[in-house]
Amino acid sequence: MLSPMDDFPVHQIAEPIRHVGTSDRNFYDRYYFNCHPGLDYDGEPLFLIVGLGQYPNLGVTDGFAVLRRGDDHIVARASKALGHDRMDVSVGPLRIEVIEGLHRLRVVLEPTAEAPDLSFDLVFTSDTPAALEARHFHRQLERVTFDTQRFVQTGRWEGTLTVDGETIPVTPDTWRGNRDRSWGVRPVGEAEPAGRRADPALAGDQNFFWIYAVMQFDDFSIVTIVQEDRRGRRIVEDATRVWTDRSREPEWLGRTEHDLSFVSGTREVAAGTLEFHRPGGYGRPDDVLTVTCEPVLPHYLGVGTGYGLEQDWRHGMWQGELVVQGLREKVPDIEPWKKMFCPVDNLTRFTLTENGVTHTGSGLFEVAVIGPCDRYGFDGAGDVAP
């Protein structure tokens, strides 16, 4: 039952560290990273995403790396039995090393025969403090489906990235991205019996509307989360500016409002505007910041990586003692329904004008509009933009 971490004073419950404070099968503890060479990169546009998670109540740890380069969607993924030592943050060829907590981490994918197209050895160094986000809690038909906590951080990358035998130098002068850590309860593993959720009378209200934007500018980063039900009522929301000058306190930006346009025949975002409404007072109007969002490269995060689209590979799903796989397909060949039913991690250009100064940044604009959404005129799960 014991592991080396039990020698540290970090226990939260009257159990060894390997046991968490709930028996819910859906408890998870995971890492997410993304990495890109900047919007002025001379080569083919590319966007790398890496994830690794532990599922203590399922006895599984798994991870993936997924690269979009041009029209290529390249996946390396691995799964293994979760051992007694939760400090072992590795699964097959993929591992994460915490060099300096909340600041510097190394992410490595060794080349393998099973996934020969992609490998890397990269170090992330933060340029802002880690920002703790609003707690995400959602109950559906009496069952707690989300009870999670997350922090996020922007930074720069250095190291090497190898694709199809070509090694690309990754240098911190231009390579940027963000990473997050989240833990708690959310749906993972094999699908559970639907129970009352199978009632057709309830199907019309089941949706997932989600915006998660991490905008990296020179002097600050802005992070915002919006989840709404089909009628626009907020389930979770947050908007914070975090400064590269660590002596400055994070700034709450108020309520986020969104205006999205979609690619015809899809639910993919063509452009967007985010407004941050900071409450006024003493007779002053609201103070509004407006950011325009220009997607540059959509990355279909859920395809082949375990987010629930494929029934044979889902986060926390038992695959065996150790399984390593590689997948590859052309983006135009990805089935349209998969593109429609997964969050899209758009590499995006952000523009903000404040006090007469225009700031241009880049980063993540993750959007999912799944199921009905009154705000944008989607009445059913299969509706698309005209």
The answer as to whether 64 is a domain residue is yes
Q: What pLDDT, on the 0 to 100 scale, is given for residue 281? A: 57
Closest CA to 252 of 133, 126, 153: 133
How crowded is residue 91: how many other Cβ atoms within 10 Å of its Cβ?
25
| Per-residue b or e along 174-213, where b marks 16 or more CB atoms closer than 10 Å to that residue's CB | ebbbbbbbbbbbbbbbeeeeeeeeeeeeeeeeebbbbbbb
Report the run of H or E that residue 15 belongs to, with start and end.
none
Instruction: Please name the residue ranges forming H helices in 6-102.
Output: none
Q: What pLDDT, on the 0 to 100 scale, is given for residue 201? A: 78
Distance (Å, rounded) from C-alpha 345 to C-alpha 297? Answer: 8
Distance (Å, rounded) from C-alpha 303 to C-alpha 301? Answer: 6
Q: Contact, 59 vs 84, CB < 8 A?
A: no
Q: Which SS3 state, helix, strand or coil, does residue 91 take?
A: strand
Q: What pLDDT, on the 0 to 100 scale, is given for residue 286? A: 66
Domain count, the chain: 1
Report the run of H or E that residue 186 belongs to, with start and end.
none
Which residues constitute the domain of residue 288? 25-189+204-376
Report the run of H or E that residue 200 belongs to, with start and end.
helix 200-203
Closest CA to 380 of 234, 226, 267: 267
Contacts of 384 (CB under 8 A, 6+ apart): 262, 264, 265, 266, 267, 340, 378
Phi/psi of residue 18, each to 5°? -65, -15
> Where on the phi/psi map is residue 364: left (φ > 0), alpha (ψ -120 to 50), or beta?
beta
The answer as to whether 284 is a domain residue is yes
Q: Contact, 141 vs 6, CB < 8 A?
A: no
What residues are paired with 211 via a beta bridge? Answer: 226, 367
The answer as to whether 292 is a domain residue is yes
The answer as to whether 15 is a domain residue is no
The answer as to whether 196 is a domain residue is no
122, two tokens: 């990269």
> Where on the phi/psi map is residue 113: left (φ > 0), alpha (ψ -120 to 50), or beta?
alpha
CATH of the domain at 210: 2.40.370.10
Q: What pLDDT, on the 0 to 100 scale, is given for residue 258? A: 98
Between the CA of residue 34 and those of 122, 156, 286, what are the distances in Å? 11, 10, 34
Q: What pLDDT, on the 0 to 100 scale, is given for residue 284? A: 56
222, two tokens: 């802005």
In order along the chain (386 residues), what is the average pLDDT of each group of 10 residues? 90 94 96 96 94 97 98 98 94 98 98 97 98 94 92 98 97 98 94 83 83 98 97 96 97 96 97 91 71 98 96 96 98 96 97 94 98 95 94
Q: Which SS3 state, helix, strand or coil, does residue 332 take?
A: helix
